[in-house]
Chains A and B, each alone.
Chain A
Amino acid sequence: MNETEQIRSKAKELLDSKKVDCVIGYERATDEKNARPMFAYNAKDADRLIFDQTCRHNLVRYLLNRKDKVTGIVVKACDSRAVNLLINEHQIARDKLFIIGVACPGLVKTDWNKPGDKLRDACQLCQQRTPVIYDVLIGEAKKVEPPADAYPDVAAMEGKSVEEKRAFWEKEFSRCIRCYACRQACPGCYCSECFVDRLDPLWVGIRIAPGENEMWNTIRAYHLGGRCIGCYACELVCPVNIPLSLLNRKLEKEVMKLFKFQPGLDPETPQPLATFQKDEKLGVAE
């Protein structure tokens, strides 16, 4: 059985036995080429589930809307780290989940109506194709050779002068329309009131203009420092192609350097930026 058939059969079993209220997975989108998220509530729905290299969405975000119901969910390796992140941050409970992990073949670059054949940049740098948490694993666990340099894009940015970096980000952020798709797609962005939605007092202005755009994108990146699990969901949904992963990966790299910590690998390890240890020095003057 291929991945699609295995996911369908598992989902039917879970729904028929009422072990879960719903299975969140993927179905074919209306362009008949891409995938889109799907909520299967019964065995008949489950026949529409699919899995292939176009299944790009991180579905874990949807679990935040279903905290009181037992939910089955299809996760790839990067998505599974988001499950750990949200358990670690006490946003979802392990016993409300049935996790259908899929050994990820890597995703292809797709566009609306245009299926790709080349692996996404993110997937070429991916070091872990097998989910880190699951109840059942579908597909064959593959070991991938880690790339010699995991941060070539970040290093290229670091090599630029302050002025060049500023000019680069000013240009990128100038296109932002503040649609907040990046936030809405992110499993780590779940504040009940986001700082940009705070209107009284107004924390960030409502203007869709350079100053506010920069404030929005920078603060969001900082809020994900040591928390971003690297699924690239934000960058994938951006309608004006802002390379948001560059910001997130820079912070990921720094946190790794300072704390030897990568978020989402397990549900228990406390997050360094949310933990205080008496003997911590971090090379800062005492």
Chain B
Amino acid sequence: MSKYISKKDLNSWLNKVRDNRRLVAPTKVDDLILFKEISRVEDIVSDYVNTDLSPKEFLFPPTEVLFSIEKKNGGVELTPARVEKETVIFGMRPCDAKGVVALDKPFLEDPTDPLYKEHRDKTALVGISCLKACAECFCSSMGSGPDDPSGFDIMLTEVKDGYLVQVLTEKGKALLPDSTLSESGEAKPKAAEVATVPAKDVNVKLRQNFEDPYWNRLADRCIHCNMCSYVCPTCYCFDIRDYPNKGKTDRVRSWESCQSAGFTKIAGGHDPRANKGTRMRQRFAHKLLYFPEQFGVSHCIGCGRCVKSCPVNIDIREIIQDVQKLGAKGE
């Protein structure tokens, strides 16, 4: 027997969740499916394979004030930004939850980013496992899978007229108490079949082929926009600026990308990654070599969003295959 909730009960539960929390879920915005704050539970869509943009923005917003600086009583007062409301992100896919697990590494490990931590503490992740996969999904090759519950507080699996429920954390238990659930003998449906990519030991090959001309050839085609980084559920680079406004200054951080030309420019004008090839290599080496070696998990979780959105078809699955074919050169 597994825990079960009917679709009707789920909707009334979501309505209750919305009462005193911010409910974020996939909804239709013109031709796109995006995570948005939901004001009517009926606006949540369920017939999507994955959303066009990841839910990263609700834990690591595109732009946010870190703290404010104000001159007061002959001194300077710093006021850190606070996260007021609790958030429930509903309808996430397992790849995106794995993305949050990866985001946690740089932001929560010492030194902890206090604002990210507050977002994270005040957010519950409720996911739905994948019974269907996109052609460009490859989560199973990147340490996740269509029914991988890691990162979720609650995971649902769709069955007839309702969902099988796995409550995975204390936060999940508090949010969806046992009294809301019933029991069902329904068998767990088969998870989606996901295409595979030969990602095993690709870090070794990447290290061996750091200087290979492959990167410059690949960069021929890249137009160096920031799209891949911004649609990616795990990219976490940012820039910081001060915004003075009538005696008060806000310190603001916004997303940035290693693909933009000035990203690594330092004082004096030097740029250690001045050409397109080195920037291109940085993106893939960070995903598949540096991050896994530093934090022990892959920094690509195989959601396929960059594959789908890249205007010139820079395809990480193809790059993994190409790199595996490169020779075993010396380090």
Contact = CB atoms under 8 A, between A and B. Distances in A.
The binding surface of chain A is classed by DSSP as loop
B312 A36 contact: yes
B254 interface: yes
Contacts of B254: 206-208
Interface string A57-96: 1000110010000000000000000000000000000000
Contacts of B231: 239
A179 B313 contact: no
A170 to B, nearest CB: 14
A240 to B, nearest CB: 7
Contacts of A175: 29
Interface string B276-319: 10000000000000000000000000000001110111010110
Interface string A175-206: 10111110111000000000001010010011
B252 interface: yes
Nearest to B239: A206
A197 B312 contact: no
A266 B201 CA distance: 53
B30 A237 contact: no
Contacts of A258: none
Interface of A: 29-31, 34, 36-39, 57, 61-62, 65, 112-113, 175, 177-181, 183-185, 197, 199, 202, 205-209, 236-237, 239-241
B227 A39 contact: no
Nearest to B240: A206
B217 to A, nearest CB: 7
Interface of B: 29-32, 52-53, 62-63, 134-136, 217, 220-221, 223-227, 229-231, 239, 241, 243, 252, 254-257, 260-262, 276, 307-309, 311-313, 315, 317-318
Given A36-B312, A205-B243, A236-B311, A179 B63 contact: no
Contacts of B257: 179
A208 B312 contact: no
B318 A179 contact: no
Nearest to B253: A206
B227 A239 contact: yes
B210 to A, nearest CB: 22
Given A180-B225, A181-B223, A209-B63, A239 B52 contact: yes
Contacts of A57: 311-312
B317 A179 contact: no
Contacts of B241: 202, 205-206
Contacts of B229: 179
A12 to B, nearest CB: 19
Given A181-B311, A205-B243, 15 more contacts: A31-B135, A31-B136, A37-B312, A57-B311, A57-B312, A65-B276, A112-B309, A113-B136, A180-B225, A180-B260, A205-B252, A206-B241, A206-B252, A209-B62, A240-B32
Contacts of B243: 205, 207
B315 A241 contact: no
B103 to A, nearest CB: 17
Q: Which of A65, A199, A202, A207 has most B Cβ within 10 Å?
A: A207
Most chain B C-beta atoms within 10 Å of own C-beta, residue among A31, A65, A180: A180
A112 B136 contact: yes
Contacts of B31: 241
B21 to A, nearest CB: 23
Contacts of A207: 63, 243, 252, 254
B62 A199 contact: no
A232 B62 CA distance: 27
A240 B226 CA distance: 13
Given A113-B136, A199-B262, A184 B225 contact: yes
B54 to A, nearest CB: 11
Which 9 interchain pairs have the tightest Cβ spacing? Answer: A181-B225, A208-B62, A237-B311, A36-B313, A184-B225, A184-B223, A29-B313, A179-B226, A179-B227
